[in-house]
């Protein structure tokens, strides 16, 4: 017990000194990487595994899609729980659920059980997404929140960039069982790392001592919907949803578009995007902290919209890579800054519901992007869906201007 208290004290001290790279922040970045890496290792292999079990492609598609549907359904509840329970143990539970679910795919060929496992997997991933960011924010100095959120997201960017490749290599060397075992081991490693973190958020504890947390909790008492969704950040979530729509469209239709236009090595688009995104995110957070959200939001969104316009006209690999670079610059600047702005609006006691509301927009955009894209592509072709994405980004910018753009907090850093 004494050693745990000592660790908690050291984490609190780190945060108090204003250091971004304190022990709590670093450990949570490791946890986030492990959980995301576990997911990305098997994301491209799951459909093949389901096919090997004799499950029809149509049914496999539905099973895989349950992951996103689960996130969309339970996302609001995760914010509610994150603001009321220990974030440490929520993150630990999420890692444990993720590890168990990943193992579960290997031990049954029952469609019903696989459906339940997929729902369980989506639940663990969704809880982690909300709770781990909210917990990490408690270790980030207030005046470096944008930078901190940007850096924290790099753990997921890195896992998304290398996870599928590592999963494919593991598949070749160890087979599907060995790959899923390694993926579950990564999630269990994340669970083990969580145990070294303090049981209570430093900022949340500080708010409770000062009475801030109690005051905010009391103001929301009896308003169940407000406890699940934070109206004050809905416009920011909607703006973020436009970027997620773009992601969903590109994930679903880019390869097909490249094949139809004779562009080879389309996978380099995602490589270029990931590398540049990795470089851009931290610096955009610093700009947001220093100058306010407006200075990042306007140019970043316009650059992202331009990337979609360039993509719609791409007929060669160099143009395709230019579109990837523009998208990474635009999205890398805006997306983490929007999330940091949501957290700033909420305060430490309601970070969970702020993050879940922000991610809810992402779930909607990512989920409906391919659906809308199917109708648009079927009627007007691929070029039209990329231009639709550009128009939607600009529409999100107009919404931001009408609802948030004149706010003093958005035009000047704190």
Answer whether residue 215 is part of any domain.
no
Q: Kindly state whether residues 338 and 314 are assigned to the same domain.
A: yes
- Encode pLDDT of 157-183 as tens digits: 888 888 888 888 898 899 989 999 999
Q: What is the CATH number of the domain that holds 354?
A: 1.20.1250.20
Q: Residue 43's pLDDT is what?
A: 80
Q: Kindly state whether residues 87 and 187 are assigned to the same domain.
A: yes
Position with higher pLDDT, 172 vs 189: 189
Q: Kindly state whether residues 121 and 236 are assigned to the same domain.
A: no
CB 295 within 8 A of CB 283: no
Distance CA 19, CA 230 (A): 29
User: How many Cα neighbours within 13 Å face the side chain of 281?
Assistant: 23
Answer whether residue 14 is part of any domain.
yes
- Cβ atoms within 10 Å, residue 34: 25
Nearest to 36, CA basis, from 137, 170, 183? 183
User: Using DSSP, how many helices (H) and how many strands (E) does the chain show?
Assistant: 17, 0
**pLDDT bracket for residue 406 (50, 70, 90):** low
Q: Could you tell me where the beta strands, DSSP code E, fall in 77-150?
A: none
Q: Which of 158, 187, 210 is the last residue of a domain?
A: 210
- Compute the average pLDDT of residues 17-32: 86
Q: Which of 183, 210, 237 is the last residue of a domain?
A: 210
Q: Kindly state whether residues 194 and 89 are assigned to the same domain.
A: yes
Distance CA 101, CA 193 (A): 19
Answer whether residue 379 is part of any domain.
yes
- List C-alpha distances in Å: 375 to 190, 218, 259, 303, 395: 40, 46, 19, 26, 20
Q: Residues with Cβ < 8 Å from 244, sequence gap 6 or more?
A: 361, 362, 363, 364, 365, 366, 369
Rounded to 10 degrees, what is the CA torsion of 17, 21, 24, 27?
Answer: -170
- Is residue 204 scored above 60 in pLDDT? no
- Is residue 74 scored above 90 in pLDDT? no
Nearest to 308, CA basis, from 323, 330, 322? 323
Distance CA 117, CA 121 (A): 6
DSSP-assigned letters across all residues of 132-196: HHHHHHTTS-GGGHHHHHHHHHHHHHHHHHHHHHHHHHHHHHHHHHHHHHHHHHHHHHHHHHHTT
Answer whether residue 216 is part of any domain.
no
Q: Kindly state whether residues 296 and 335 are assigned to the same domain.
A: yes
- Cβ atoms within 10 Å, residue 300: 27
Answer whether residue 245 is part of any domain.
yes
Least confident range from 21-35, 174-188, 193-207, 392-406: namely: 193-207
Answer whether residue 295 is part of any domain.
yes
Burial 84-122 (b: 16+ CB within 10 A, else e): eebbbebbbbbbbbbbbbbbbbeeeeebeebeebbbbbb
Q: Kindly state whether residues 172 and 300 are assigned to the same domain.
A: no
Q: Kindly state whether residues 160 and 289 are assigned to the same domain.
A: no
Answer whether residue 147 is part of any domain.
yes
Q: Kindly state whether residues 229 and 201 are assigned to the same domain.
A: no
**pLDDT bracket for residue 394 (50, 70, 90):** very high
- Is residue 121 scored above 90 in pLDDT? yes
Distance CA 125, CA 119 (A): 10
Q: Residue 99's pLDDT is what?
A: 95
Position with higher pLDDT, 293 vs 185: 185
Q: Kindly state whether residues 27 and 171 are assigned to the same domain.
A: yes
Q: Residue 225's pLDDT is what?
A: 61
**Averaged pLDDT of the chain:** 82
How many domains does one find in the chain?
A: 2
Distance CA 82, CA 127 (A): 8
- List C-alpha distances in Å: 151 to 8, 93, 160, 328, 337: 22, 24, 15, 15, 11
- List C-alpha distances in Å: 62 to 46, 70, 215, 251, 366: 12, 12, 44, 17, 16
Highest mean pLDDT among 89-98, 101-110, 217-226: 89-98
Distance CA 65, CA 119 (A): 10
Q: Kindly state whether residues 15 and 114 are assigned to the same domain.
A: yes
Angle at 186 between CA 184 and CA 192, to 5 degrees: 105
- Is residue 7 scored above 50 in pLDDT? no
Q: Indicate the length of the chain as a whole number.
A: 414
**pLDDT bracket for residue 4 (50, 70, 90):** very low
Which DSSP state fits 283?
Answer: H
**Domain range enclosing 298:** 224-411
Q: Kindly state whether residues 349 and 262 are assigned to the same domain.
A: yes
Q: Residue 325's pLDDT is what?
A: 95
CB 384 within 8 A of CB 392: no
**pLDDT bracket for residue 190 (50, 70, 90):** very high
Q: Residue 229's pLDDT is what?
A: 78
Position with higher pLDDT, 100 vs 85: 100
Answer whether residue 217 is part of any domain.
no
Classify residue 1 as exposed, middle or buried by CB count within 10 Å of its CB (0-12, 13-18, 19+): exposed
Q: Which of 177, 210, 243 is the last residue of a domain?
A: 210
Q: Kindly state whether residues 168 and 274 are assigned to the same domain.
A: no
């Amino acid at each position: 017990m004494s050693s745990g208290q000592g660790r908690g004290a050291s984490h609190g001290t780190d945060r108090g000194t204003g250091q971004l790279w304190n022990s709590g922040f670093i450990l949570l970045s490791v946890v986030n990487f492990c959980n995301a890496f576990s997911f990305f290792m098997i994301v491209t292999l799951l459909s093949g595994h389901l096919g090997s079990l004799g499950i029809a492609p149509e049914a496999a598609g539905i099973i895989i899609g349950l992951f996103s549907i689960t996130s969309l359904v339970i996302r609001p509840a995760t914010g509610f729980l994150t603001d009321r329970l220990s974030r440490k143990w929520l993150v630990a539970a999420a890692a444990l659920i993720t590890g168990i679910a990943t193992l579960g795919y290997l031990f049954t060929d029952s469609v019903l059980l696989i459906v339940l496992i997929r729902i369980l997997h989506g639940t663990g991933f969704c809880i982690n997404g909300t709770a781990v960011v909210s917990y990490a924010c408690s270790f980030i100095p207030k005046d470096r929140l944008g930078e901190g959120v940007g850096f924290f997201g790099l753990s997921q960017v890195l896992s998304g960039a290398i996870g599928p490749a590592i999963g494919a290599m593991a598949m070749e060397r160890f087979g599907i069982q060995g790959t899923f075992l390694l993926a579950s081991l990564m999630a269990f490693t994340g669970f083990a790392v969580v145990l070294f973190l303090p049981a209570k958020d430093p900022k949340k504890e500080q708010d409770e001592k000062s009475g801030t947390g109690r005051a905010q909790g009391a103001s929301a008492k009896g308003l169940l919907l407000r406890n699940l969704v934070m109206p004050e950040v809905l416009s920011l979530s909607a703006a973020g949803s436009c970027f997620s729509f773009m992601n969903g469209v590109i994930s679903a239709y880019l390869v097909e578009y490249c094949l139809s236009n004779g562009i080879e090595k389309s996978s380099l688009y995602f490589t270029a995007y990931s590398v540049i995104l990795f470089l851009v995110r931290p610096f955009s957070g610093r700009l947001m902290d220093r100058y306010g959200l407006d200075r990042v939001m306007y140019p970043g969104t316009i650059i992202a919209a331009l990337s979609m316009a360039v993509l719609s006209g791409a007929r060669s690999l160099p143009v395709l890579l230019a579109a990837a670079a523009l998208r990474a610059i635009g999205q890398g600047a805006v997306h983490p800054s929007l999330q940091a702005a949501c957290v700033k609006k909420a305060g430490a006691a309601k970070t969970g519901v702020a993050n879940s509301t922000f991610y809810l927009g992402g779930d909607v955009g990512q989920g409906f992007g391919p659906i809308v894209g199917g109708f648009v592509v079927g009627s007007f072709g691929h070029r039209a869906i990329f231009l639709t994405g550009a128009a939607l980004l600009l529409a999100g910018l107009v919404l931001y201007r009408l609802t948030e753009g004149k706010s003093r907090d958005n035009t000047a850093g704190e």
